[in-house]
Amino acid sequence: MTISKSSAPVLITGGARRIGLALAQSMLEQQIPVIVSYRQYYPAIENLADQGAVCIQADFSDNRSIHEFADKIKVHTAKLRAIIHNASAWLAEDPATPPEDTLAAMLQIHVYTPYLLNLELESCLRSQGHAAADIIHITDFAVEKGSKKHIAYAASKAAMDNLTRSFARKLAPEVKVNAIAPALILFNNDDDENYRRHVLSKTLMQIEPEEQEIVNLVNYILQSRYMTGKTLSLDGGRCLR
């Protein structure tokens, strides 16, 4: 499926690795301009830049840096085809870390960052026509189920999920706002076989779907001219176990 062509770029936060990188490469293959943010350097950054992507280093750990990043985007382009909020962190509660620090870190990346960027870049999304721009929040299946080991993480992703409906109401009909709530998509290289089997057993489909599943769903959302304010689950049936 090919996204309708637009000269306006797609902004992908956390676009240097894993899902964000796969999304950026997919857009570039479709000849869609791409801007990616990255917190730390990965070799893929050079490859993306060689393919024409604009790569901007950004640390969203405080609000000032979020505003500065938005200013850089507005200097680079007056219009955005979409914002895909993929930047994320997965912190568990840890006795060595004050719980308020864990919660603050999770809220910063999963709530303050999309909230402020959506507001700061609203003018870049509007005035392109009916349903001509998109915001996509990448949340988590834990929004519905919760998590006993990642309480702050799940709570922050739930807040991000709620932003989806509020911004959908605010920005319609020019901008569609939707969320994707994945469970397992891609294992880490250092995940051992016991862990992999345990996680796979939690889903009905029992596979590691990899990044293309997210890419396909993002393309579907960007193609739609009618769907907004929705959270699309991508959990392999985990919610039914």
Q: Which of 153, 195, 220, 226 is catalytic?
A: 153
Helix axes 151-171, 99-107, angle to 10 degrees: 30
Structure tokens at 46: 């050079």
Q: How far is CA 12 from CA 117, 134, 215, in A?
A: 12, 12, 12
What DSSP string runs through 93-112? P-TTS-HHHHHHHHHIIIII
Q: Is 200 helix (H, G, I), strand (E, B) or coil?
A: helix
The span from the CA of 24 to the CA of 185, in Å, is 17
The answer to whether residue 153 is catalytic is yes
Provide the annotated active-site residues: 153
